[in-house]
Amino acid sequence: MTTDIELTAVKKDVALPDFVSPAASFKDPSVSSEGALRNSRNVLETLRYYEAVLDRRLGVESSGPERVLPENRQPPKLWYIFVIWASSGTFGLGNFSIGTLGWSYGLSLGQTIPIMMFGILLGCMTAAWCGTLGPATGLRQISVSRYSMGWWPTKIVALFNIFGLIGFASVQCITAGQGLSAVSGYSLSILVGIVIVTVLALIIGFGGYRILLAIEAYFWMPFFILTLILFGETGNKVSLQQPATASGMAFTAAVLNLLASSYGCTSIFCSWISDYFVHYPADISRVKVYLLTMFGMWIANFIGVLPGCLIGSALAQDASLATAYNAHGIGEVMLRLMYPSGLAKFVMVIFSLGGIGFGAIAIYSAALAVQQLAAPLQMVPRFFWSLASFAGLVVLSIAGKTAVPTFLSNILALVGYFNTIYFAILFTEHALFRKGKITNYDLDGWNTQSRLPIGYAGFGAFVAGWLGCVLGMVASFYVGVIAEKIGGGDVANMLGLVFTLVSYPPLRHLELRFCGR
């Protein structure tokens, strides 16, 4: 397969058996691989052998979370930075479902659109800034976290990152399963639809950086065209004059909740975005990376949720559509709104496959995050953790398939809280303690515990930020005491940001004074 990207192989921490070396049977694994494997007493060696074979024959990435040195980089095309976000499930049923949240909160179409536009922009601004650290350091996002969170607390960040990736990807897979089931007249179960989409996502994510980025750069095109068709099909069924059903304190709460949800759907990129920028030149303009990322992400995600906003308006005007949505999800509603039925089914099948893009990203980045939880896990090849991430995605999708709106709002809220705290810590460390200069980072010590912060400040600020979030959060399982006083409005992101920004600087000063790093 020919792509625009060819990566230089990175050496492993673990010694491979002789039969993997180019001087041995690597060039032709079929010659002596069976005998060598029989004689191997190390399971890791066996896994590494197959990893090498997959890399050699299929181009499956064999490198893990190691730092990519400037001399080893062969950069992808610059415009990829702008367009790959359009392939991350943006034009799929999952994002359409996010657009209907305005209706579920009791807001009108005229209110929903600007609120979501602003919330999505806020998330894009934080994520784009985190992305600028990728080319400058050559490190994956979790590795970058070590310079502010410290060695051990970064493992907590990795766990939250895995949860956010798999959780949000499961929403994409659930809605895709609903769409495929609706097209089949419900002869195909949602479960089967979920499995189909997750398997296809695994195939792409399994290949690694080179294959994933090459596909994601173009994956969005047919979905964008069909989204324009969807606008035409649904435009005459909505009304900007449709009044909101929420009023008073309930209206305030609805605005805050929608703002938190729309912010969460793009801030989720914060904790893994650098994974896709590590092969760009170290001296590339950070402003250029920031602007291309922010606008590319914002435009794609806003266009992606807009059909859902329109569908939400249609639900507010037609009780039968609302009943269909509650019973079968957004797929059934789209089939009823579009005409003729043949076109509607074709479009629905394609949109159902839109979730593959983010599913592939989740499987790839979650595998990298797992490898950074502990040194022994990094010794296991990435493809094994990709399979484990796939299994987790299937299980979580099945678990959440019966209550999509609640599941979606909870996932978006929790992911948003985490990434707000995470961004605040990273930004404060970079701006105040590293003076905004990459040269103040000991990049060669990225994987050496003694050369990184201990993590007292990072962990303390992380806990403080979550304390603020708990006071202001709104989820189906808990409403914070401050949120209760404003009618159930979600102010967790604001409180989490303030608590983190106030606590991190003094804690970091103390850490530097008494620990020296």
pLDDT in tens, 344-386: 999 999 999 988 999 999 999 999 999 989 888 888 888 889 9
Do residues 479 and 410 make contact, with C-beta atoms less than 8 angstroms apart?
Answer: no
- Outline where 268-381 has alpha helix (H): 286-317, 319-328, 330-337, 341-352, 355-371, 375-379
Q: What percent of the chain has pLDDT over 90?
A: 65
Q: Give the span between the Cα atoms of 227 and 236, in whole angstroms.
A: 15
Do residues 312 and 105 make contact, with C-beta atoms less than 8 angstroms apart?
Answer: no
Backbone angles phi, psi at 61, to 5 degrees: -60, 130
Give me the mean pLDDT over the 372-401 stretch. 88
Tokens of 329: 């999800």
Give me the mean pLDDT over the 42-55 stretch. 71
H/E stretch holding 27 reads none
pTM of the model: 0.87
Tokens 């608590």 correspond to what residue? 499
pLDDT at 1 over 60: no
The reported pLDDT for the residue numbered 62 is 65
The reported pLDDT for the residue numbered 201 is 93
pLDDT at 187 over 70: yes
The reported pLDDT for the residue numbered 31 is 42
The reported pLDDT for the residue numbered 91 is 87
Q: What's the first-to-final CA gap in the chain, in angstroms?
A: 46
**DSSP code of residue 477:** T
The reported pLDDT for the residue numbered 55 is 66
Strands (E), 162-291: none
Do residues 327 and 319 make contact, with C-beta atoms less than 8 angstroms apart?
Answer: no
The reported pLDDT for the residue numbered 409 is 81
Q: Give the span between the Cα atoms of 312 and 105, in whole angstroms.
A: 10
Which band of pLDDT confidence, cut at 50, 70 and 90, is reported for residue 407? confident
Half-sphere exposure of 487 (CA within 13 A, CB side): 13
**Cα-trace Rg, the chain:** 23
pLDDT at 24 over 60: no
Q: What percent of the chain has pLDDT over 70?
A: 90
Q: Where are the domains of the chain?
A: 1-59, 78-416
The reported pLDDT for the residue numbered 412 is 84
**DSSP code of residue 403:** -
Q: Give the span between the Cα atoms of 442 and 446, in whole angstroms.
A: 7
The reported pLDDT for the residue numbered 479 is 95
DSSP 80-120: HHHHGGGGTTTTSHHHHHHHTHHHHTT--HHHHHHHHHHHH
Any idea which architecture 78-416 has in CATH? Up-down Bundle (1.20)
Of 240-244, 414-418, 461-465, give the range with the top mean pLDDT.
Answer: 461-465
Encode pLDDT of 132-170 as tens digits: 999 999 999 999 999 999 999 999 999 999 999 998 899
Do residues 220 and 86 make contact, with C-beta atoms less than 8 angstroms apart?
Answer: yes
Encode pLDDT of 69-116 as tens digits: 999 998 999 999 999 999 887 888 989 999 999 999 999 999 999 999
Backbone angles phi, psi at 475, to 5 degrees: -145, 165
Encode pLDDT of 268-327 as tens digits: 999 999 999 999 999 999 999 999 999 999 999 999 999 999 999 999 989 999 999 988
The reported pLDDT for the residue numbered 101 is 93
Do residues 102 and 116 make contact, with C-beta atoms less than 8 angstroms apart?
Answer: yes
pLDDT at 404 over 90: no
Encode pLDDT of 467-501 as tens digits: 999 999 999 889 999 999 999 999 999 999 999 99
Residues 6+ away with beta carbon under 8 Å from 106: 244, 245, 246, 250, 251, 254
Maximum separation of any 2 CA atoms in the chain, in Å: 75
Distances (CA, A) of 452 to 271, 421, 424, 429, 483: 19, 20, 19, 13, 38
pLDDT at 45 over 80: no
Residues 6+ away with beta carbon under 8 Å from 158: 142, 369, 370, 372, 373
Which band of pLDDT confidence, cut at 50, 70 and 90, is reported for residue 58? low
The reported pLDDT for the residue numbered 374 is 86
Which band of pLDDT confidence, cut at 50, 70 and 90, is reported for residue 40? very low
Give me the mean pLDDT over the 437-448 stretch. 95
Backbone angles phi, psi at 474, to 5 degrees: -135, 115
Residues 6+ away with beta carbon under 8 Å from 91: 220, 223, 224, 226, 227, 300, 303, 304, 351, 354
Give me the mean pLDDT over the 250-265 stretch. 94
The reported pLDDT for the residue numbered 52 is 72
Could you tell me which of 274, 296, 255, 288 has the C-alpha nearest to residue 121?
Answer: 296
Q: Give the span between the Cα atoms of 53 and 20, in whole angstroms.
A: 8
Residues 6+ away with beta carbon under 8 Å from 165: 268, 272, 361, 362, 365, 366, 369, 389
pLDDT at 11 over 50: no
The reported pLDDT for the residue numbered 146 is 96
Could you tell me which of 63, 59, 51 has the C-alpha nearest to residue 278?
Answer: 63
The reported pLDDT for the residue numbered 326 is 87
Neighbour tally for 123: CB within 10 Å: 29
